[in-house]
Amino acid sequence: MVVTKRAMDALVALVSSMVVLTASAQGGTPSQAPAKKPNIAVSGCLMRNGYATFMVADAHVDGTGDRAATAAPSTTKGNEAAGTPAKWILDNAGNVGSHVGEQVQVVGFSDWVTDQPASPAAPPEPGGPPAPMPHIDLQTLKVLANSCS
């Protein structure tokens, strides 16, 4: 089978146009998509929640929305604002296990909003399932103190 230069040029042009059409149908290239900004910053004590899951306990919200990425961490212990959850599960936490037991600030993405009620401290009935905790898709972790006490 012999492929002529003309046939090869036509094939290259066809593939190129397909790539352009696919990129435009998907809304452009990934480099053109706006970067999603973190929308929450929470400070508290980093703890394990099972074998490979981490959570921030005794937590309080440092900032939400546009202020989350630059929110000043708070080193006070406990949940100061009524209606904010005291515990947060960290998703995509990676290798943060070496910081368990330390006071930290985490910044990331969450579906939680300030008008949602906080989870109850205990399950609604003995032996029942625990109340759901809000999740943070972790972007950054900053150590505030070497211990939670």
Closest among 87, 93, 86 to 107, alpha carbons compared:
93
Q: What mean pLDDT value characterizes the chain?
A: 76
pTM across the whole model? 0.65
Residue 14: pLDDT above 60? Answer: no
pLDDT average, residue stretch 74-93: 76
What are the DSSP calls for 118-134, one per residue?
A: PPPSS-SSTTSPPPP--
Percentage of residues in the chain with pLDDT exceeding 70? 59
Residue 1: pLDDT above 70? Answer: no
Q: What is the pLDDT of residue 132?
A: 79
Higher-confidence residue of 27 and 130: namely 130
- Which parts of the chain fold into alpha helices (H)? 5-25
What pairing do the DSSP bridges indicate for beta strands 54-64 and 103-109? unpaired
Buried b (16+ CB within 10 A) or exposed e, 114-137: eeeebeeeeeeeeeeeeeebbbbb
Encoded amino acid at 108, one letter: G
Contact of 91 with 137, CB cutoff 8 Å:
yes
Q: What is the pLDDT of residue 74?
A: 74
